[in-house]
Amino acid sequence: MRTLVTIIVFLCLAKTCYCQIKIDSIKNSSSVVCSVDPKYPHFPGGGGEMIKFITQNMSLPDSVSKSINDSRIVLKITIDTTGKLIQTSVLKGINKTFDKEILRVFSIMPNWVPGVREGMKVQETFALPIKIDFDHRN
């Protein structure tokens, strides 16, 4: 029996837009320069690539996957200035077997793109909610 695992990631990270008015331009016009800062850490290739990585590396017994209906797990992850995941923990779990497996998959993840603030790479800690949908059809 094949179990298809579809994982949808909701990165609920708000982006802030800081706008500056150039002092010289106040006299001449109302030129405004906007930039998104800070830049949050992210998986290389984006959420779709992270879903693919998790799906390809997740290994659960059928008995565990059959016992889990649609659910959500929330992880707390810390990405350092090099993009390495230096800490991963479960804030809201599903069950011990699944929680242990998702932590294993995150432990073998490639480095992320680190967060940037004011032009410098920074360490970031954030909550990552992941919606789990097990398709129990053959």
Residue ranges and CATH numbers for the domains of the chain are 4-13+43-135 (3.30.1150)
pLDDT tens for the chain, residues 1 to 138: 333 333 333 333 333 333 333 334 334 444 444 444 568 999 999 988 998 999 899 888 777 777 776 678 999 999 999 999 999 999 999 889 899 999 999 999 999 999 999 889 999 999 999 887 766 444
Question: Residue 135 corresponds to which amino acid?
Answer: D
Q: DSSP letter string over 13-70?
A: ----EEEEE-TTHHHH---EEEEE-SBPPB-TT-HHHHHHHHHHH----HHHHHH--S
Q: Residue 63's pLDDT is what?
A: 73
Q: Residue 31's pLDDT is what?
A: 41
Q: Which residues contact 55 (CB under 8 A, 6 or more apart)?
A: 5, 6, 7
Q: Residue 134's pLDDT is what?
A: 67
Q: Residue 53's pLDDT is what?
A: 94
